[in-house]
Structure 1
Amino acid sequence: MNEVEKVSQDIYGEIRQSIIHVQHRVQQAVNTGMVQIYWEIGQQLDKACDGKQDEYGKGLLHQVSAKLTAEFGKGYSYANLKNMRQFYRCFPNRYALRSDLSWTHYRMLMRVADSKAREFYAEECAAAGWSSRELERQITTFAYQRTVSQQKTTERRPQTATDKGMAPYRDFIRDPYVLEFLELKPSPEFYERDIEQGIIEHLQQFLLELGRGFSFVARQKRISLDGDDFYIDLVFYNYILKCFVLIDLKLGKVKHQDIGQMQMYVNYYKANMRNEGDNEPIGIVLCAEKNEAVVKYTMGSDNSTHIYASKYMPYMPTEEELKKELRLQELPLAKEE
């Protein structure tokens, strides 16, 4: 490669990055502008229909739609105007709208009837940079209801993290975890290492399923105690909680020995692996089946150690299966008007 070719290649690379950067900023500006104008339209329509009968509102939206469509095109159909009105009603505070979220994101969020769940998905989506497809997956698998802090259970759970003002550990633990992306096929030759290998091969999807703030640290982390070696299946670090997260995988039902082993791992990390400023580690026993009584009585009344037993589902469950697993009586999705 001669000098001209080398310089042209370098300049091409720099120009290419500049173009991509500007394209991204333009696209983001367009998305933000679209969200803002749709909110304004929704606000105006809702105020015009406020206190009026349903037939009045339908007629008004049909007429406004016809006029806007004639001038601006098909983006202002009756169905779209109805969505814009619903958008305003779901998100009445204009200043709380997130520039990171597109209109597609907001349309999905509008399907969530529970306002707390809706806010959870919006916050997590913006913070973690979820695509619209990932947001849809999180909603349809009830990620909010699978978060331990939202569940009513008799199992012993630590309520808060170690530092004042910090988010509770329970806000970052799910039960169950949905691992359909591993594409595991049931087999009598199925081993824990198959799950572990699947997680490593689909690490990005697993990190999304874990939630916000997780980063991968190690696989089969060896610790030695007086000449005996032990191996922790997976180690992560959560930069929001500022702590290590240790995960052990179990094929069958969780046993008291599994929890005791995790207790040892957590105690070891607490004593030997924490850096200055780190909080106490979390231990998660990820199992195919749970026995709440075993977890409860193994842990006893000890609230000083953050250990959880969570079930994993290696397939995409149906809504009915998830409702049964989470003891939900009603779907947390909004009904179409």
Structure 2
Amino acid sequence: MQIENSNTHYQNLLEQIANRYEQGRADIAAYVNTEIVHTYWHIGQYIVAFEQRGNRKAEYGKSLLENLSKDLSLAYGKGFSRSNLNYMRLFYQRFPICEELPHKLSWTHFCELVKIDDPLERSFYQQQALLENWSTTELKRQKKASLFLRLAASKDKDGILQLAKQGQIIEKPADVIREPYVLEFLKIPEPYHLSETALETRLIDHLQAFLLELGKGFAFIGRQYRITLGNRNHYVDLVFYHRILKCFVLIDLKKEEAGYEAVGQMNMYLGYFENEENTEGDNPPIGIVLAKEKDDLLVRYAMHNISSQLFISKYQLYLPNRAELQALIEKQLQAGNQE
């Protein structure tokens, strides 16, 4: 009997085979990645053990990795450059317990992580890469944009240690806020004279990078989202939905300083979305006024008795000063030790 493609049982068979095949491919890839990572860890262990024994130190000295690279490359081809061997050596030193290596991270992830000297910062990026399923490219970008230092700068000692241990866990609206937001991916030189509309357009053109900067859980809904009140149209610059917090996130862009008018306008948007756009299961929306500058005292008074779901944050078009952020965090850690 000829089997028709429309036959339900045959379609189920096809689906079963396809699912199992795809799962098998994924399992093989995961297994290969795990074996590569473990192999490189052991190679690093052998190198460090050799150096610590001091065997033939005078003969090899600083040329050990060069000699290994030459001999191993001759025997096995690519993969044993001096740089890669140095990463293997560092890998063992930074992650001395093989059984604790996270299986979801690839060798290229670990190559980026071992470059980080500070163990707290390295631990954060490891946890965050796992939480948000970062590619190696995304990990590089967040390192370059000093995500850990920016998040840690607003926390006390306990908060910094928790951030390093667990990553940024999203549990409440304040957890999605960053100060400042770094938009260096727009490649806008300072000084600049862009309108808010032009800035919005550039963010949409670089939506993938902007979503990475916003963090895990954001889904884009639309730009210039129209709402009508009293026969007048108003437009929210950018609207997102946060899958974890289950709420809309409204972003209003300001090319200069955020004034009290921006606070009132965003509060109106929040009221409208909560009453007119929310559906069953949605939590109250979050509002972010994203401005180049803000006056903290003005913002504090303008926000008096205003929804705790409304935030004023700054953005900058260049990478933050790592030295200043590191100094601030070290000061906070030292202050915590003195308490």
Shift in CA distance, 278/117, structure 1 to aligned 2, threshold 3 Å? farther
Q: Which amino acid aligns with 2:296?
A: E
CA contact (8 A) 2:266 2:287 kept: yes
Q: 1:85 aligns with which of 80, 84, 89?
A: 89
| Cα shift at 1:194 | 0.5
Q: Which amino acid aligns with 2:34?
A: T
* Greater Cα offset, 286-295 or 244-253: 286-295
Give the Cα–Cα distance (whole angstroms) in 1 for the partners of residues 245 and 273 of structure 2: 15
Q: 2:36: which partner in 1? A: 34
CA contact (8 A) 1:243 1:282 kept: yes
Q: Which amino acid aligns with 1:120?
A: F
Q: Which amino acid aligns with 1:310?
A: S
| Cα shift at 1:85 | 3.4
TM-score, reference length from structure 2: 0.71
The answer to whether residue 266 in structure 2 is matched with residue 249 in structure 1 is no
Q: 1:176 aligns with which of 177, 180, 196?
A: 180
Q: 2:244: which partner in 1? A: 240
Q: 2:311 aligns with which of 308, 311, 316?
A: 308
CA contact (8 A) 2:238 2:251 kept: yes
Percent identity at matched positions? 39
Structure 2 portions without partners, runs of 5+: 1-14, 157-168, 331-339
CA contact (8 A) 1:61 1:78 kept: no
Shift in CA distance, 20/210, structure 1 to aligned 2, threshold 3 Å? same
Give the Cα–Cα distance (whole angstroms) in 2 for the partners of residues 80 and 28 of structure 1: 21
| Cα shift at 1:93 | 4.5
Shift in CA distance, 322/168, structure 1 to aligned 2, threshold 3 Å? farther
Give the Cα–Cα distance (whole angstroms) in 2 for the partners of residues 140 and 330 of structure 1: 18
| Cα shift at 1:191 | 1.1
Higher relative helix content = 2
Per-residue Cα deviation, 1:234-282 (whole angstroms, up to 9, x for no partner): 1111112222111000010111211222122223323333333333322
* Greater Cα offset, 238-247 or 39-48: 39-48
Q: Secondary structure at the match of 2:240?
A: strand
- Equivalences, count: 300
Q: 2:327: which partner in 1? A: 329
Q: Secondary structure at the match of 2:321?
A: helix
Structure 1 portions without partners, runs of 5+: 1-13, 154-164, 333-337
Shift in CA distance, 292/331, structure 1 to aligned 2, threshold 3 Å? closer
Q: Secondary structure at the match of 2:115?
A: coil
| Cα shift at 1:182 | 2.7
Q: 1:298 aligns with which of 294, 302, 305?
A: 302
Question: Superposition RMSD on alpha carbons, in Å?
Answer: 4.1
TM-score, reference length from structure 1: 0.72
